[in-house]
Amino acid sequence: MTFIAPNQTIGIIGGGIDSYTLTLAARQMGLHPAVLTATATDPALAAADFALFGDLTNPLPFSDLADMSQVIVYADENINSDLLANMTDRQHLPQGTDILNITQDRYMEKVFFEDQNLNTAPYAMVVNLDDVRREIESIGYPAVLKPTQKGLGPKKQRILYNENDVEAAADYFDGATAILESWVPKTKELSVVVVKTSTGETTVYPTIENIYSQNHQLQASILPARIDAETNQEIRRIAKVLADKLHYVGVFGVTYFLTAAGVLYVARVFPGPRGNANVLEYTTGYSAYELHMRAVCDWSIPEPKLDRAGVTVTISPATLAKAIQLIRTQPNTHFSFYPQRGDLPDDAPIGFASFTAWELETVIARVEALGIWHVEDKEKKSDD
């Protein structure tokens, strides 16, 4: 694998917040980021040394990016994997495309988990209502219908609670395949950041607990996760199993569901860092975005060390005014904001705030006292 030194150019494919943050990490490492997005108004271009935009299903913009870059990464897991595969003939793509063949297709992802003997929610592939009627007998209620293809958003998912919901799902099918999956009664959603190097060395960072809204927008990430040692050990074991099987270099994430009975399910795997890893920066000293850049550039990877407990909360348009007030009154809180382009939904992420303390209980109480974000352990509270 080629070592990428400062002052060389790294190409980044895809836009959005993750691409913007990757671009900032590249600049901090002395690299020159060339960013390719679908639109000229994408926020990621604001941080790029070289800004390119064009049709991401067309090979020409990819070719332009390849001509100016010593190494290329992608920030969008829904990118056309065939175009990326063709580009590897002439340009170094450390992440490869194998992971995309798994993560872009829910059925392939499920099969991949089963091949590693990992516990995942029961499922079946369905193409019409008759399939749903048949498979629901073994999967049971509640269940959720999801398109096999990812990237279509949560609005394409439908929960089935009873037979009436099944019959009402007749309009769901448009000729494409779907997944019928058992609804997991999760009490916690957990994740880990995994770094894999070109030599196959794997580093698993501390387990993160994530809190999401009903619209599945990230609200808060908590480190360390409030789980027992046995569950944490299993989470880390699974991450290493997946790392061993994936032909990949860089950061990838694994998410898990944990039930009240202590049953752990592997939910998904995804390439590159995501916003739920922002909590790492002020608790371990390294951001997941920097770790990703270090791995794909063949830089050394630091050993994970949890220096402090932390809670990172999402700042949205709905909480922006209160967050701005906190800037004047919370000197020990770290604030980060993204470039804002156009009108955004009230729950869209436009930044984050990170709170840290020596003890997790202290930082939880500090966040709760603000009355803006709620991060108490509901499961623990109900037991008291």
Judge contact between 297 and 73, C-beta under 8 A.
no
User: What pLDDT shows up at residue 90?
Assistant: 47
Distances in Å between the alpha carbon of 227 and those of 187, 191, 223?
11, 12, 11
Q: Which residues pair with 335 in a beta bridge?
A: 353
With tokens 């065939």, the residue in question is 82
User: What pLDDT shows up at residue 380?
Assistant: 54
In the CATH scheme, what is the homologous superfamily, with its name and number, of domain 186-383?
ATP-grasp fold, B domain (3.30.470.20)
Q: Left (φ > 0), alpha (ψ -120 to 50) or beta: where does 207 sit?
A: beta
Run means of pLDDT, 10 residues per run, the chain, 384 residues: 94 96 98 96 95 92 92 91 74 88 95 98 96 97 94 75 95 90 97 97 98 90 98 99 97 98 97 96 97 97 96 97 96 94 86 98 97 82 38
User: What pLDDT shows up at residue 18?
Assistant: 96
Query: Domain 122-182: which topology?
Result: Dna Ligase; domain 1 (3.30.1490)
Who contacts 287 (Cβ-Cβ below 8 Å, separation ≥6)?
21, 25, 273, 277, 278, 280, 281
Three-state DSSP state, 33: strand
The CATH code of domain 9-93 reads 3.40.50.20
User: What pLDDT shows up at residue 155?
Assistant: 53
Q: Is the peptide bond before 142 cis (omega within 30 degrees of 0)?
A: yes
Q: How far apart are CA 97 and CA 251, in angstroms?
A: 14
User: What pLDDT shows up at residue 383?
Assistant: 38
Q: How far apart are CA 195 and CA 188, in angstroms?
A: 23
- How many other CB atoms are there within 10 angstroms of residue 378's CB atom? 12
Pairing of β 250-259 and β 186-196: antiparallel
User: What pLDDT shows up at residue 34?
Assistant: 98
User: What pLDDT shows up at residue 384?
Assistant: 34
pTM of the complete model: 0.94
Q: How far apart are CA 326 and CA 328, in angstroms?
A: 5
> What residues does each domain of the chain span?
9-93, 122-182, 186-383
Three-state DSSP state, 13: strand
User: What pLDDT shows up at residue 15?
Assistant: 95
